[in-house]
Amino acid sequence: MANESLRYYVSCSRLPLAVYREVAAHLRQVEGVDVDLICQKSQRFDYNQSQVEGLWIHHADDSDAVSRERVNQILTHYNLLTT
């Protein structure tokens, strides 16, 4: 049975830009994973809000269970995994 491509969105409104970049860097080290930072779209500046709206995480069609588990571990470490 072939793996299906998986793409999902992760967001935390108060996470700083530097931490989003750190998370993205860690995720990009996982084989078969690509990450896009989504810029904040709000027209109103709020000092307490992140400069980044969220992350799109994309697993390649051929990514395995080990890669997906590693992504879950990274997201859990940063408190970004919702159950």
What's the farthest any 2 CA atoms get from each other in the chain? 48
Say if pTM beats, i.e. exceeds, 0.85. no
The reported pLDDT for the residue numbered 82 is: 63
The reported pLDDT for the residue numbered 4 is: 56
Contact, 78 vs 24, CB < 8 A?
A: no
Residue 43: DSSP 8-state: S
pLDDT in tens, 29-70: 999 999 999 988 777 777 666 788 899 999 988 888 899 999
* Pairing assessment for the beta strands 33-39 and 52-59 based on DSSP bridges: antiparallel
Q: Which residue has the higher pLDDT, 63 or 21?
A: 21
Q: Where are the beta strands (DSSP E) in the chain?
A: 6-10, 33-39, 52-59
Q: Which residue has the higher pLDDT, 15 or 70?
A: 70
Determine the Cα–Cα distance for residues 51 and 64; give it in Å rounded to an integer.
Answer: 32
